[in-house]
C-alpha cells in the first residue's frame, strides 16, 4: 500500500508516542539523561504527548501511514524558523506558559520518571552554546527535532517522504535546515543524503560522563553528499 505523509492529529498521538519510544529506547542521549533503573515509560509517554500537542499547534508535525491504515510508521517534527529580529508574540508567550504548566502538572503526578535533571540542564546549556555558534542566518532555520521510522517500515522510502515534505518547502523559501543527531554512525551519512553537512560537535559532560551530539546544517537546494 502507498504511504502518505500528513499532519499529526489527536488520534495519531498514541501511535506517534509509541513510535518515538521504540526508536529512542537505546538512544545514546536517552541513556545518558535517564536513569534506566527508575525510568517510567508512562511518564515518558505523557511527556511526549504534551510535546506532540505543542508541536501540532506550533511546529510542523508529520506522521507517515499506509493509506487505509491508522498505524503510525514514521514521525517527523520540525520547529519553524525564528528570525532573530522578531520578538516573541503573545501567542508564543502563551504557548510557552501552557507547555510549562502542562509539564509541571505531569511532574507532580508522575515525578521525574528517571530524568536526571542536572544532565538535562547540562544538555540545554550545551545546546544553546552550539546553536549560538552554528545559527548564523538571522532568518532562522527549519529545525528537525524528531525523525523516526519504525524498524519494520525502514527501507521503504518513508524517511525520505517525511524529510522532503519540509526540505522542499525550505528550498522554495531559500531557508536553511538544522538538526542534532545523537549518533554519528550511521545517522550523519543518512542525513548527508538529504544535503545535511556536519558543522559542530555538541558535548554534554557531567563530571566525566559525557555524550556527543552532532549538529548538521542543510543549505537550500544543496546537492546530497556522495555515499
Q: Give 221's pLDDT tier (boundaries 50, 70, 90).
A: confident
Give yes or no for residue 8 having a pLDDT over 70.
yes
The pLDDT tens digits of the residues spanning 179-218 come to 999 999 999 999 999 999 999 999 999 999 999 999 999 9
* Residue count of the chain: 227
3-class secondary-structure state, position 186: coil
Task: Kindly state the average pLDDT of the residues 170-184.
Answer: 96
Q: Give 79's pLDDT tier (boundaries 50, 70, 90).
A: very high
Q: What is the pLDDT of residue 74?
A: 97
Q: What is the pLDDT of residue 107?
A: 95
CB atoms within 10 A of CB 199: 16
What pTM does this model have?
A: 0.93
Give yes or no for residue 222 having a pLDDT over 70.
no
Q: Give 220's pLDDT tier (boundaries 50, 70, 90).
A: very high
Q: What is the pLDDT of residue 225?
A: 52
3-class secondary-structure state, position 34: strand
Q: What are phi and psi of 206, to 5 degrees?
A: -110, 85
What residues contact residue 78 under an 8 Å CB cut-off, 6+ apart?
59, 60, 61, 142, 143, 144, 145, 166
The pLDDT tens digits of the residues spanning 86-142 come to 998 999 999 999 999 999 999 999 999 999 999 999 999 999 999 999 999 999 999
Is the distance from CB of 78 to CB of 147 less than 8 angstroms? no
Q: What is the pLDDT of residue 223?
A: 53
Is the distance from CB of 83 to CB of 138 less than 8 angstroms? yes
- Average model confidence (pLDDT) for the chain? 94
Q: What is the pLDDT of residue 32?
A: 97
Q: Give 1's pLDDT tier (boundaries 50, 70, 90).
A: confident
Amino acid at each position: 500500500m502507498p504511504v502518505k505523509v500528513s499532519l499529526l492529529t489527536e488520534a495519531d498521538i498514541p501511535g506517534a508516542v509509541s513510535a518515538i519510544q521504540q526508536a529512542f529506547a537505546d538512544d545514546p542521549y536517552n541513556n545518558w539523561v535517564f536513569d534506566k533503573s527508575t525510568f517510567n515509560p508512562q511518564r515518558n509517554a505523557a511527556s511526549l504527548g504534551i510535546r506532540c500537542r505543542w508541536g501540532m499547534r506550533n511546529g510542523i508535525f508529520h506522521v507517515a501511514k499506509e493509506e487505509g491504515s491508522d498505524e503510525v510508521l514514521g514521525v517527523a517534527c520540525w520547529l519553524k524558523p525564528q528570525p532573530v529580529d522578531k520578538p516573541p508574540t503573545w501567542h508564543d508567550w502563551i504557548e510557552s506558559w501552557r507547555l510549562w504548566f502542562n509539564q509541571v502538572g505531569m511532574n507532580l503526578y508522575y515525578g521525574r520518571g528517571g530524568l536526571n535533571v542536572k544532565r538535562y540542564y547540562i544538555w540545554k546549556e550545551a545546546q544553546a552554546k552550539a546553536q549560538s555558534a552554528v545559527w548564523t542566518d538571522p532568518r532562522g532555520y527549519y529545525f528537525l527535532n524528531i525523525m523516526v521510522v519504525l524498524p519494520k517500515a525502514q527501507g521503504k522510502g518513508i524517511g525520505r517522504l517525511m524529510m522532503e515534505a519540509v526540505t522542499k518547502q525550505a528550498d522554495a523559501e531559500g531557508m536553511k535546515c538544522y538538526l542534532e543527531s545523537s549518533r554519528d554512525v550511521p545517522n550523519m551519512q543518512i542525513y548527508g543524503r538529504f544535503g545535511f553537512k556536519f558543522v559542530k560537535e555538541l558535548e554534554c559532560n557531567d563530571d566525566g560522563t559525557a555524550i556527543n551530539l552532532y549538529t548538521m546544517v542543510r543549505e537550500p537546494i544543496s546537492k546530497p553528499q556522495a555515499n
